[in-house]
Amino acid sequence: MLPSGAVAVTIPSGYVSEPAANGQGWVFRAPGTTGDANTIRLMLPNDRNPTVYLRYYNSAGQPISPLLAELDRKRKRIFRLVEQSLIRHRRENMTTTFKQPASFSDLVSSELTQIRISQFIVHFIFVEGAEIAIESSFQHVGKDGRIVSQFEVYGTRKEITVHELLGQQIVAVEVESEESLRITFTSGESMRIVRNPNLHESCTIYVKGSTYIIT
């Protein structure tokens, strides 16, 4: 068993050892290679490092930590697994329109706490961990049903009044049509999310461990 805080060191199969150039340790490398790229150095204690220490170098000859080195060796397999998982997850949660079966009602009682606007997406973040990411457009609708403002992520209209909904809870979620979802807050005002079928994704809703992607 390793001592607390220790990191297991794996020397790749086939690596050979040679004395370090300064005589203060050993270098492990693939046979026939030179330079620092893809090497592992085991260095003896000195004034700067009072204990034996390891230094890993990546394929560019840059020093990295042992943990990052382990990731570097396994990264291709990890990335493949993550990519496959993401593709599977997106397929399982992909929704064509707002009319597709989805538990949008789980948004009820969520309190809007942040609105983040970037160039290609607008995030609405709620205290309970729910989030709505919009890439199409949305409207701020008054209690009388009048459109107060409209924001188009890829369009010319960039009107922002939805900040007035901050601190309010969602009291109702209504699927108005295949093209729009209306979310009503405690003040009686609402936000209407409008689907754009010309976009790869119009909206993504994260709530209670589920992800709904509106294309």
Question: Which of 22, 62, 23 lies closest to 39, judged by CA?
Answer: 62
Identify the DSSP state of 3.
Answer: P
Enumerate the domain spans of the chain: 16-91, 96-214
- At 119 the pLDDT is 85
Instruction: Per-residue pLDDT tens, the chain, 215 aa: give them.
Output: 545 555 566 777 888 888 888 777 888 888 888 888 888 887 777 776 666 667 777 777 777 665 555 555 555 555 556 555 655 555 555 566 777 545 688 899 999 999 999 888 999 999 878 999 999 999 999 999 999 999 999 989 999 999 999 999 999 999 888 899 999 999 999 999 999 988 878 888 888 877 788 87
pTM of the shown model: 0.57
Which amino acid, residue 91? Answer: R
**Contact assessment for residue 98 and residue 179, using Cβ atoms and an 8 Å cutoff:** yes
DSSP 101-124: ---GGGGTTPBEEEEEE-SS-EEE
- At 146 the pLDDT is 96
- At 209 the pLDDT is 75
Structure token digits, residue 208: 């209670």
